[in-house]
Amino acid sequence: MPVQLSPARRGPSAFRSTRALLLGLTALTLPAMVQAQDAAPEDQIQLDKVVIVTSASSIATSIQDAPASITVIGQDKIEASGARDLKDVLRTVPGLNLTRGNNAISSVSFRGMPAGRTLTLVDGKRISSSNTFSRHYQGDLQTVPLDAIERIEVVRGPMSTLYGSDAMGGVINIITKKGSDVWSGSVTTEFGFADSNTTADNRNISAYISGPLAENISLAIWAKLAEIDAPKAPYAIVPGRGGDTPLYTSNGIKTKTLGTRLTWTPQQGVEWGAEAQFSRDNYLADSNGHDTNEVTKSSFSLSNEWQIGAGTLSSYLRYEDSKNKSWNGTTLNWDPAIKYTTTTLESRYTASTELGGRTLDYTVGGLISREKLVDPAATAGTIVEGSVDTVALYGEGRFAVSDALSLTGGLRYDHHEKYGNHVTPRIYANYDLGSGLMLKAGYSQAFVAPDLRSLNPNYQLNSRGNGCKPYQGPCTIVGNPNLKPETSDNYEIGLNYQGDRTEWEITAFYNDVENMISARRTNRTLPDGTPIFERDNFDYGKTAGIEAGLEHRINDDLTWTNSLTYIAKSEFKYGDFSTAYPMATTPKWNITTGLAWQATEQLNLSAEVNYIGKQAGYVIADGLQVGGGEQASVPPGQNSKAYYLVNVAAAYDLTKTARLNVGVDNLFNGQPQSQVDYRENGRLFTLGLTTRF
């Protein structure tokens, strides 16, 4: 008999909501009441090179002064690494893990949280194409070609105060290049040659060009054509209650992208922008069959920046439309498309003023958003559809309490059409210890609103096992209109050092999630006996650990880079579960070390070793029971044995405008143990050429 589980705890109490409001208001008003303190020591280091970031705060600041844990990957590092996509670039970020589900798709997760708690932005604007998929989506990190990227800002930890829902784990903000005063650009052609059935040949060409059309008017255009071949054969066949399942490392995919931006500056201090992007992804069948999916995405936006007094008013209006068609092998035609549209209007004003002789930088802003889903593919004979409107007001202030201490406080008020009002506070402190050393500490709340599918009782998702935890799969998961938002309390404390040749950081973090959204088993079954699970709020989820990074310039030509993530806790639990289960497919230890050597004026060599440890919170199935004596399952994707990934690359400047990149990814074909139902991309030989003009 199925186990009757106790109800999950419901939403935050009135006390917690009041506490959140008071904390946020205190964070915003406290700086005005604090007196100036002692100045920083005279030996404070002034760095020659300061990287300005905007994602960790509404106010532009340096990495060390940013009120958050942040990593910035500039264009020079992207080019020197020979990376072919953003996943290659992001692997070395502390606290970040490329989570691989049992569909073998790599997704980005932070600090032991599920991948769905990572928010991806382009120029600060949320992208939502993934909502046309319930699984297997590969597109968020492929939205912009590398040629068009100026830098990537990665914020580790929750940023719901500035960005709202889904930013509980962290934020990846892709900053694109701006239009230039002279015509210039680049074209990159790349090839990958596979040496294993765990990866496939691939090829792509991308380009970016920008320049003036007329006085005060500039144009930027970017484009990409890419293809990853479909796997020719599965790497394993897994028997299960629902029948044998072939396992493939990834879907083959063909991508076409075209984007353009027009910028007009009619006068000093005023800038208008208009942008449009179109793309189509064709997902390839496993063995010479018809394409399985066709995904089309289009987006349009208008933006304005206007200097008003001592501040800047920034606004944008953005519309995004995504469609996902599936091929029907019975009718030999495309099924009706899943459609997801979003319309967002956001405006924020950022300025600086003086309070008691000290600087207060502040931002106030607001947002109106509408999301709409039409999904005819979720349940046979039923169209799952719905929409939701969101209105938000937020404010953030950064006050220089003294030359050494600054406090940042933020507060966000969201009105969700289905969940009413929600208040999200944040407070963060930076204390300059002198000699290039900064102490950072912060507390914040975050929330995730259930998606439109999970709220619809007509929605059905068939899972092979990963969604059926802690029971064995397969199962069918249905929606629940009574879901509550997932909320969390998040803490971090760390040190950041910026020296002449050495930079390092170390941060300890703890996240306490309430009403974690998952699925519970019901007493119902389908006619074929498949158990029915229903979306529900679990009791809790907790993650804790340490992340660290070190970059040391051994000499002017040789740089040593390291990152480390240790997950001490990543678990969820509720009801009659006698055992806690891992929240995500996250290794307990994830360590990367690498060298970049400017061997000659033209030649740059690099090598990188990534150690991926045993699954954090690993669960052993033998003897493990759920209430009622039923045998529990081991969550799919667990790995009980460490392995290594080794990448080597070389970049050679053929001329002042042409660079040749060669390399080998996963040189020794490192893989998790054979029982795990996923594989890393196998050995891949790469060749690329970038030409600038």
Name all domains of the chain by residue range, CATH numbers in brackets: 14-191+199-320+342-692 (2.40.170.20)
Can you tell me the mean pLDDT for 90-116? 74
Angle of CA points 638, 639, 641, to nearest 5°: 160
- Write down the pTM of the prediction: 0.85
Cβ density class 172-191: b for 16+ within 10 Å, e for less: bbbbbbebeeeeebbbbebe
Lookup: tokens for 344: 């967002």
Q: Is pLDDT above 80 for 369?
A: yes
Lowest mean pLDDT among 3-12, 84-93, 292-301: 3-12
CA 118, chain centre distance (Å): 4
SS3 content of the chain, % helix, strand, coil (to 5): 10, 55, 35
DSSP 615: B
Q: What is the pLDDT of residue 611?
A: 95
Neighbours of 429 (CB within 10 A): 17
Q: Distance of CA 653 to CAs 191, 382, 649, Å?
A: 18, 58, 14
Can you tell me the mean pLDDT for 657-676? 87
Confidence class of residue 36 from pLDDT cuts 50, 70 and 90?
Answer: very low
Q: Is pLDDT above 80 for 71?
A: yes
Q: pLDDT digits over 478-487, tens only?
A: 889 888 888 8
* Gap between the Cα atoms of 592 and 94, Å rounded: 9
Lowest mean pLDDT among 220-229, 242-251, 289-298, 416-425: 242-251
* Gap between the Cα atoms of 399 and 356, Å rounded: 11
Q: Is pLDDT above 60 for 294?
A: yes
Lookup: tokens for 561: 């880079």
What is the rounded (10 degree) CA torsion for 666, 667, 673, 674?
Answer: 100
* Gap between the Cα atoms of 356 and 409, Å rounded: 18
Surface-to-core class of residue 201, CB atoms within 10 Å of its CB (0-12 exposed, 13-18 middle, 19+ buried): middle
Q: Is pLDDT above 50 for 3?
A: no
Instruction: Give me the percent of the chain exceeding a pLDDT of 70.
Output: 79
Can you tell me the mean pLDDT for 569-592? 80
Can you tell me the mean pLDDT for 295-315? 93
Q: Is pLDDT above 50 for 140?
A: yes
Confidence class of residue 442 from pLDDT cuts 50, 70 and 90?
Answer: very high
Can you tell me the mean pLDDT for 230-244? 64
Look at the block and give the residue holding tokens 């008020």. Answer: 413
Q: Distance of CA 171 to CAs 127, 143, 541, Å?
A: 12, 15, 20
Long-range contacts of 384-389 (CB under 8 A, 24+ apart): 384/452, 384/453, 384/456, 384/458, 384/459, 384/479, 385/456, 386/452, 386/455, 386/456, 387/452, 388/416, 388/417, 388/418, 388/449, 388/452, 389/417
3-state secondary structure of 14: helix
Q: Is pLDDT above 60 for 422?
A: yes
Nearest to 103 by CA among 140, 130, 128, 134: 134
Q: What is the pLDDT of residue 509?
A: 96
Lowest mean pLDDT among 20-24, 318-322, 389-393, 683-687: 20-24
Q: What is the pLDDT of residue 10?
A: 37
Look at the block and give the residue holding tokens 């404390």. Answer: 493
Q: What contacts 115, CB < 8 A, 6 or more positions away? A: 99, 101, 107, 108, 109, 584
Q: pLDDT digits over 151-205, tens only?
A: 899 998 888 888 887 788 888 899 898 888 899 999 999 999 988 767 889 999 9
In whole numbers, what is the pLDDT of the chain averaged over residues? Answer: 82
Q: pLDDT digits over 51-65, tens only?
A: 566 666 667 788 888
Q: What is the pLDDT of residue 451?
A: 83
